[in-house]
Structure 1
Amino acid sequence: MKIKSIFFLAAVTSMMLSMPIQAQRIKDMANVQGVRSNQLIGYGLVVGLPGTGEKTRYTEQTFRTMLKNFGINLPDSVRPNSKNVAVVAVHAEMPAFIKPGQNLDVTVSSLGEAKSLRGGTLLQTFMKGVDGNVYAIAQGSLVVSGFSAEGLDGSRVIQNTPTVGRIPNGAIIERSVPSPFASGDHLTFNLHRADFSTAKNMVDAINDLLGPGMAKAIDASSIQVSAPRDASQRVSYLATLENIEVTIADESAKVIVNSRTGTIVVGQNVQLLPAAVTHGGLTVTIAESTQVTQPNALAGGETAVTANSTIDVAEQDRRMFMFSPGTTLDELVRAVNLVGAAPSDVLAILEALKMAGALHGELIII
């Protein structure tokens, strides 16, 4: 039976081969060096849970520390016995150029044995960066989309994830991250996909607009562009640069195979050297059955059970097909489609062609 994915791949391939090469804006294919987000994380306490919290040792310690900050010291003999609290991890991504006083969405995740954070409130939590400094303070009521319900017999129903919630605008920025955007005499663009040809095309496009020598390629992924020192001029300057359209270079010839899902992606520039391929296989079917033998009762025999095995071997009728020099991706897909190959069979054919040196491209199996 011919698989639908091969038909789809052939159709897409024909369309790709007929499409002209498209240009992309610089803002879609590169980012500015130094303009980046930063990850923040904190450790806090969620209170007000309707009995869905936890009673663990570290929850008790966190609860005692919170009370101590308010001047309340509990004796060691007194142990909090409330399941209305839960310890959580609070994390967020701090975008570039965000300033003190602005708000940030945060995600709150349970760290312990809490069954649900629904209905809880996060108390003031310091959020730190990788350098150990506090950059934001989070607090507020959680929005939890999941829920859980448990019966007396131990049965339980869970929808989505009740132990993770969000607080929109739940953090206030207390410190900004210095950015090198306004310093130096240059701006550096880093390509999302390193490629020498694309880097050269980008340099040529910028120099065509600004003049010779304004941009130069440092390597396959970084392009350095002269820029004004004044910050306001640099913003308008960058707004002009990031809208320049650059022709993307063709990707190198690759065949990518996902052996777990059977997904096969063949690059546009993949070609084949002269080769002949035959595709076939044996189908072996083994059927097991049992037969009960009932002897004559007067003879004093015993009932016996015997096993019967039936083995059927069928060889599939497959044709041999031949690739001429310079066979393209479209012709390869059509040829494989004619023999009705399954994804696993296509993978075997591609591996054999690669081993024979007939596949002009890199075979990547993930």
Structure 2
Amino acid sequence: MLPDAAFAENTPTSQAHQARIKDIASIEGIRDNQLVGYGIVVGLNGTGDSQQTSFPIQTLAATLLRMGVSVPASSIRVQNLAAVFISATLPPFARPGTKLDITASSAGDARSLEGGLLLMTPLYGPDGKIYAQAQGPLVLGGYSVSANGNVKQVNHPTTGRVPGGAMVERGVPLDLTGRSDFSLLLNDADFRSAEAMAQAVNKELGRNAAHAVDSRRITLAVKGNEEIPALLGRVEAIEVPFYPRAKVVVNERTGTVVIGGTVVLQAVSILHGGLTVNIVSDFEVSQPSAFGSGTTQVVQQTKIEAKDKPVNRIELKQGATVDDLVRSLQQIGATARDVISILQAMKSAGALEAEIEVL
């Protein structure tokens, strides 16, 4: 059977889809900023970093020293703490006091962060300045239990989140007043979509305010007496015709195949078979005769079996849809790896009018 995938009804590539500008484009300069930090999680039930991981102990010793407790790092023996890296996203227009969600991931060999408390950790931006402080109890979506060499693990217990666990200390200033123009950037570059967006904005505003510069960028002029937040909110809510690119996304690691609804198929015949080779090794003991001078030896016996599977045939006529292709592949029992190979061969043969993206 095929892996779980999303398939849409096949439509001509020239047909447009209605979408809001805020869903397919962004405003240049108004964006998120990535933050990162390093800290320690305490309160673990013996599932923290081992003594072979030295940097958590050094961090603990430095933390205790700042609190007036001087303890040599070499004398610390604990397993209830883990070193973690913290990641967060600073949204645009965030001001001091704004709370952020954070993600903590183990940097050492800790087995689980379940029940841990993240101590106060500064979060840095790309410029090296502190923009937020993080602290709080971790929430995990899994667990790991071990006893007598047996381990049971559910999901990923070495990564956790702290909802609202960081507080912004420094915002990124962005002043919109006095701006005479803005740039709208399409998420997927397309000349036709850019021109359609400019025309829709001009029709909504009743003036020639938008102009397509290239396949991704549309400039938006601002009048001298216009309220910029109201203008941008009005523009983002406009529904415009959007022409998505035909694409097939393949993830060979997980066996996931996603075929977009705008993919067009041409008439093609597909012959698919397979060759299976099994190599089996057996070990037998060879004993010498009762009065022989030989020694007992272990002899390896190797058997090789090759089986050629019969060829499966798929025929797609002119006007076939993605649903026809999927049903045909399911009927012949194609695996995920078979589907990936067939799609690549169809692309090479010119029967698949789409871009194949391999993740």
Shorter-chain-normalised TM-score: which range? Answer: 0.7 to 0.9
Secondary structure (helix, strand or coil) at the match of 1:144 reads: coil
User: What is the aligned partner in structure 1 of residue 158 from structure 2?
Assistant: 163
User: What is the aligned partner in structure 2 of residue 178 from structure 1?
Assistant: 173
Structure 1 residues 60 and 342: alpha-carbon distance in aligned structure 2, compared to 1, 3 A threshold: closer
Conservation of the 8 A alpha-carbon contact between 1:269 and 1:328: no
- Does residue 64 of structure 1 match 2:61? yes
Structure 1 residues 229 and 120: alpha-carbon distance in aligned structure 2, compared to 1, 3 A threshold: farther
Structure 1 residue 171 displacement after superposition: 1.2
Conservation of the 8 A alpha-carbon contact between 1:184 and 1:229: no
Structure 1 residues 175 and 268: alpha-carbon distance in aligned structure 2, compared to 1, 3 A threshold: closer
User: What is the aligned partner in structure 2 of residue 233 from structure 1?
Assistant: 227
Conservation of the 8 A alpha-carbon contact between 1:255 and 1:361: no
In the aligned structure 2, how far is the partner of 1:184 from the partner of 1:96? 17
Structure 1 residues 44 and 276: alpha-carbon distance in aligned structure 2, compared to 1, 3 A threshold: closer
User: What is the aligned partner in structure 1 of residue 264 from structure 2?
Assistant: 270
Q: Deviations over 1:19-54 (max 9, x none)?
A: 974321111211111111111111112222233223
Mapping 1:186-265, distance limit 5 Å = 186-228=181-223, 233-249=227-243, 251=245, 261=255, 263=257, 265=259
- Does residue 361 of structure 1 match 2:353? yes
Mapping 1:88-127, distance limit 5 Å = 88-127=84-123
Once structures 1 and 2 are overlaid, which stretch shifts more, 105-114 or 141-150? 141-150
Structure 1 residues 51 and 219: alpha-carbon distance in aligned structure 2, compared to 1, 3 A threshold: same
Structure 1 residue 215 displacement after superposition: 0.7
Structure 1 residue 342 displacement after superposition: 6.2
Amino acid of the structure 2 residue aligned with 1:226: A
Structure 1 residues 124 and 186: alpha-carbon distance in aligned structure 2, compared to 1, 3 A threshold: same
Amino acid of the structure 2 residue aligned with 1:48: G
Structure 1 residue 280 displacement after superposition: 7.5
Structure 1 residue 98 displacement after superposition: 1.3
Amino acid of the structure 2 residue aligned with 1:61: Q
Amino acid of the structure 2 residue aligned with 1:105: D
Q: Which has the higher helix share?
A: 1
Once structures 1 and 2 are overlaid, which stretch shifts more, 177-186 or 125-134? 177-186
In the aligned structure 2, how far is the partner of 1:94 from the partner of 1:33? 16
Q: Which runs of 5+ in 1 are unaligned?
A: 289-306
State the identity as a percent.
Answer: 34
Structure 1 residues 225 and 59: alpha-carbon distance in aligned structure 2, compared to 1, 3 A threshold: same
Larger Rg computed on CA atoms: 1
In the aligned structure 1, how far is the partner of 2:258 from the partner of 2:164? 43
In the aligned structure 1, how far is the partner of 2:304 from the partner of 2:68? 81
Structure 1 residue 168 displacement after superposition: 2.2
Conservation of the 8 A alpha-carbon contact between 2:180 and 2:223: yes
Larger relative contact order (CA 8 Å, sep ≥ 6): 2
- Indicate the RMSD between aligned Cα atoms, in angstroms: 4.2
Structure 1 residues 127 and 228: alpha-carbon distance in aligned structure 2, compared to 1, 3 A threshold: farther
User: What is the aligned partner in structure 2 of residue 296 from structure 1?
Assistant: none
Amino acid of the structure 2 residue aligned with 1:241: V
Amino acid of the structure 1 residue aligned with 2:150: S
Amino acid of the structure 2 residue aligned with 1:86: A
- Matched residue count: 328
Conservation of the 8 A alpha-carbon contact between 2:268 and 2:351: no
Conservation of the 8 A alpha-carbon contact between 1:228 and 1:234: no
Structure 1 residues 246 and 159: alpha-carbon distance in aligned structure 2, compared to 1, 3 A threshold: same
Report the TM-score, using the length of structure 2 for normalisation: 0.73
Secondary structure (helix, strand or coil) at the match of 1:209 reads: helix
Structure 1 residues 65 and 332: alpha-carbon distance in aligned structure 2, compared to 1, 3 A threshold: closer
Structure 1 residue 103 displacement after superposition: 1.4
- Does residue 82 of structure 1 match 2:78? yes
Q: Deviations over 1:119-148 (max 9, x none)?
A: 222221111011100000111222234322
Structure 1 residue 104 displacement after superposition: 1.4
Mapping 1:275-354, distance limit 5 Å = 277=269, 279=271, 327-330=318-321, 333=324, 337=328
Structure 1 residue 178 displacement after superposition: 2.0
Secondary structure (helix, strand or coil) at the match of 1:166 reads: strand
In the aligned structure 2, how far is the partner of 1:177 from the partner of 1:249? 34
Secondary structure (helix, strand or coil) at the match of 2:208 reads: coil
Q: Deviations over 1:223-281 (max 9, x none)?
A: 11012567x911111111111111123646x6666677484737646364xx7858476
Structure 1 residues 246 and 312: alpha-carbon distance in aligned structure 2, compared to 1, 3 A threshold: closer
Conservation of the 8 A alpha-carbon contact between 1:148 and 1:156: yes
Structure 1 residues 347 and 212: alpha-carbon distance in aligned structure 2, compared to 1, 3 A threshold: same
Structure 1 residues 72 and 313: alpha-carbon distance in aligned structure 2, compared to 1, 3 A threshold: closer
